[in-house]
Amino acid sequence: MQETITLQTHQREILVDITPMVENLVQTSGVDYGIVNVYAQGATAAIMVQENWDESVQTDVVNLLRKMIPKGVWLHDAQDGNGDAHLKSGLVGPSETIPIIEGRLGLSTWQNIFFCEFDGPRTERRVLCTVIADE
């Protein structure tokens, strides 16, 4: 099964929790055991599994990446001003694969799936979710 999650982002750099949407797709699939691959379509976005307890970790991730990869100093900025967004996306990576266990995401208590926006705000971002059953 393959479905696309569509979302909007309202800030230039933000982590958006998409766990409930992915969980819903897994439950709809009817797969009890297998994997779900979550893939960000876009060269300036990424997917990350990270702590969900409070927003401080997500804020820390954004702040760390801003310090490591500042805006406005890259060759690609001459084209469209988002060289940092491409580098952040490449560093974090476009996808995560999560096990499905007894029909649910195999995440720990403190883990959620985040869409990482590095070049927002955007009216439409797409995340491709592929559910594969263990047969």
Tell me if 34 sits within 8 A of 26, measured CB to CB: no
Domain boundaries, the chain: 2-133
Q: According to the model, what pLDDT value does residue 126 have?
A: 98
Is CATH 2.60.120.460 correct for 2-133?
A: yes
Q: What is the pLDDT of residues 21-68, one digit of tens each?
A: 999 999 999 999 999 999 999 999 999 999 988 889 999 999 999 999
Give pLDDT, residue 135. 77
Whole-prediction pTM: 0.96
pLDDT digits (tens, 9 = 90+) for 90-108: 999 999 999 999 999 999 9
In this prediction, residue 11 carries a pLDDT of 97
Taking only the tens place, the pLDDT of each residue in 4-24 is 999 999 999 999 999 999 999
